[in-house]
Structure 1
Amino acid sequence: MAVACLHTAASNIAIFDDAACKLNIPAIHLSHLVVPHWLAEAERAGGLTVELKQQLVSFIQSIMPHFDAVLITCSTLGAVAENFPCLEKRCAVYRTDQMLADVLGDRPGKSVVLYAAPSTLATTTALFCRDTTRLQPEVRLVSEAWQIFKSGDQDSYLALIAEAIKKALDEGADNVALAQVSMAPAIKAFTGDARVLASPHLSLQRCFG
């Protein structure tokens, strides 16, 4: 099994490698491709434009012959996966936050979805609140977190995320989902707490399970 992880932040490499290690997946099965300029372009444009989407589709098509699956790990770019119906391709293209949303949607009780990047509000809400027949999760911004992340202060960033998780749990959330991959390391402060979910572990489980 060969999986390409398409990132817009180099820091996501270590997060996925750590998740793979915990799942006993040899590192040789993962290839990491980092394309920060596409996120920067999407943020400047206020979202995923038609032109940018076409560029991403062409790029993914060019690498598909070399992999069994491609994971789009960026929430802002994730919608591109919809251009690749999995049943029609040998190589499946997934958005990791979709896998997270699928798992969260199957869980009972009150759910809170935390996100850090303000530019992902629309896509995150559309993804996690898609099933209107069920109790809708609360989608909550972790204020100031994204500016801190972009400044490179990873410790302060993850401390803010952990604080937001604790607050949601203290307020009675049965499940807390972390919408961005960059938030996942904050789960270490809640080791063993099955109420807190992040996409790296879940997406690799789905690919290799």
Structure 2
Amino acid sequence: MMRDIFQPKSQHVINIACLHTAASNIAIFDDAARQLELNHLQLSHLVMPHLLAEAEASGGLTAGLHERLVALLRDLQPHFDVILITCSTLGPVSEAFTSSRQPCAVWRTDGMLAKAVHQSAKKTVVLCAAESTLGATRALFCTDGQTPEIRLIPEAWQRFKAGDGAGYFHCVRTAVEHAWQQGAERVVLAQSSMAPVAQQFPPERQPLSGPHLALLQCHQQANR
């Protein structure tokens, strides 16, 4: 599924391609851009749920899937200023695009979350909904000197895949509440699909979520 893909580049806007594995993430990123009032960001959406399905069936991101994703992203690069991989399971593919000489940046959305976590030593709980993301999330967040607790939310992903959005968000909200009650100083929503739950909490208790941080990073990069 493609939406607004291959918009012509413009000197007046930042052209961003969002690679999703869930169509529901389109509204999440569009809403984040509106809330941040970043009208100069032109978001295009590429939705490929079969990529996540393949990774889940294979127990994670395989070498073959990694190679095909790299080729896909290289084909997209000439058309955009930034490509955001919004699926945590596929996020490690961004590591193939670290050169500053690349025609456009390729970032993983959860990478901005990890960067925020690594900037302070607060007691942190990182919440995941999909089991397939656990390996990539641990590798990203748990570095030398940083040992946040990575938690899988029971039943959340089953509800999401069944189309039970309300049940999914209820599971996520409950997990956030438990993390605060158990002494967390910071709670992180590792997957973009979880982001709407952050708005259900007061500012001082809002968990960190990726879409806003990712779009802010795009904005800041363009203004350097």
TMscore range, shorter length: over 0.9
Tell whether the 8 Å contact from 2:159 to 2:167 is kept in structure 1 after alignment.
Answer: yes
1:179 aligns with one of 162, 178, 190: 190
Tell whether the 8 Å contact from 1:20 to 1:27 is kept in structure 2 after alignment.
Answer: no
Cα distance in structure 2, aligned partners of 1:115 and 1:77 = 14
1:16 aligns with one of 29, 43, 57: 29
Cα distance in structure 2, aligned partners of 1:169 and 1:107 = 18
1:109-155 deviation digits (Å, cap 9, x = unpaired): 2100000001111111111102x224x11101100100000000101
Matched, 1:60 2:69: no
CA shift, 1:195, in A, is 5.1
- The verdict on how the C-alpha distance between 1:13 and 1:191 changes in structure 2, with shifts beyond 3 A counting, is farther
Tell whether the 8 Å contact from 1:17 to 1:27 is kept in structure 2 after alignment.
Answer: no
Cα distance in structure 1, aligned partners of 2:53 and 2:214 = 24
One-letter code aligned to 2:30: D
Instruction: Name the residue aligned to 2:8.
Output: none
CA shift, 1:28, in A, is 6.3
Moved over 3 A (4+): none
2:165 aligns with one of 131, 138, 154: 154
Matched, 1:133 2:138: no
Tell whether the 8 Å contact from 2:110 to 2:190 is kept in structure 1 after alignment.
Answer: yes
| SS of residue matched to 1:2 | strand
Higher helix share: 1
One-letter code aligned to 1:113: V
Cα distance in structure 2, aligned partners of 1:90 and 1:64 = 6
1:89 aligns with one of 102, 105, 108: 102
One-letter code aligned to 1:149: F
1:44 aligns with one of 36, 57, 64: 57
Instruction: Name the residue aligned to 1:166.
Output: 177
Instruction: Name the residue aligned to 1:80.
Output: 93
One-letter code aligned to 2:167: S
Instruction: Name the residue aligned to 2:43.
Output: 30
Q: Report the count of equivalent residues.
A: 207
Question: What is the RMSD computed on CA atoms of the aligned residues?
Answer: 1.3
**How does 1:95-106 map onto structure 2 within 5 Å?**
95-106=108-119
What are the ranges of 5 or more consecutive residues in structure 2 without an aligned counterpart? Answer: 1-13
What are the ranges of 5 or more consecutive residues in structure 1 without an aligned counterpart? Answer: none
Cα distance in structure 2, aligned partners of 1:143 and 1:29 = 36
One-letter code aligned to 2:166: D
Work out the percentage of aligned pairs sharing the same amino acid. Answer: 52
| SS of residue matched to 2:83 | strand
- The verdict on how the C-alpha distance between 1:80 and 1:121 changes in structure 2, with shifts beyond 3 A counting, is same
One-letter code aligned to 1:155: A
